[in-house]
A and B are shown apart, each in its own frame.
Chain A
Amino acid sequence: DVKVTQSSRYLVKRTGEKVFLECVQDMDHENMFWYRQDPGLGLRLIYFSYDVKMKEKGDIPEGYSVSREKKERFSLILESASTNQTSMYLCASRTGGVETQYFGPGTRLLVL
């Protein structure tokens, strides 16, 4: 089975802190994704990566950056956390193309 893990299930940070969310997949998938999920808005794509060291902006990249130094790991960085970044963050991976995306359990981030 594909396994996508995220470093934290719950995280509490203060405004202005730098926040790192880590995602690791164990299936040698080329593509990885970061979404945020908010009630009534569904899932919105923040950034995605087609391969190592490659990244592309999604629909809501403002306030976020990403890093993919190794194929299995995709990090989401909040350079200076703000209260409007309080949300559920979901990571996903897939082999490529139109194949199924597999999701991690999510990180619920609270920014105070």
Chain B
Amino acid sequence: AQSVTQPDIHITVSEGASLELRCNYSYGATPYLFWYVQSPGQGLQLLLKYFSGDTLVQGIKGFEAEFKRSQSSFNLRKPSVHWSDAAEYFCAVNGGATNKLIFGTGTLLAVQP
């Protein structure tokens, strides 16, 4: 069965520091992968997605993610975090006959001044 693991529940970084949020997936075929961000009290906004092609994908707000098939990973990165990046981040995989999205449990990012 498909699954997504986000091993970090909470992460705190200083403003201006680099960020990497981990995501591992389990899926037999080529996955369709997504990163969403949720600001407090809001719905989810798509940051970026990977369907095929270049394994390094660029998203909005300066985020990027790299698909590594050998490690079953799709980690999210940002070179310099801003205070407004404080939010919860969800990784998701889409696949299978029903094309449902399977979400990880999320990583809550705090940004220190």
Does A105 have its Cβ within 8 Å of any Cβ on chain B? Answer: yes
CB distance from A39 to the nearest CB of B (A): 9
- Say whether chain A's binding surface is mostly helix, strand, loop, or mixed: strand
Asked if residues B101 and A101 are in contact (CB atoms below 8 Å), the reply is: yes
CB distance from A37 to the nearest CB of B (A): 8
| Residues of A contacting B36 in the complex (Cβ-Cβ under 8 angstroms) | 103
| Residues of B contacting A32 in the complex (Cβ-Cβ under 8 angstroms) | none
| Residues of A contacting B25 in the complex (Cβ-Cβ under 8 angstroms) | none
- Say whether chain B's binding surface is mostly helix, strand, loop, or mixed: strand
A81 to B110, CA, bound (A): 34
Task: Tell me the count of chain A residues lying within 8 A, CB to CB, of chain B.
Answer: 23
Number of chain B interface residues as a range: 20 to 34
Asked if residues A105 and B100 are in contact (CB atoms below 8 Å), the reply is: no
Does B74 have its Cβ within 8 Å of any Cβ on chain A? Answer: no
A40 to B90, CA, bound (A): 12
Asked if residues B101 and A103 are in contact (CB atoms below 8 Å), the reply is: no
B interface residues (Cβ-Cβ under 8 A, vs A): 9, 32, 34, 36, 41-46, 49, 51, 90, 94-95, 98-101, 103-106
A interface residues (Cβ-Cβ under 8 A, vs B): 4, 33, 40-45, 48, 56, 58, 90, 92, 97-98, 100-106, 108
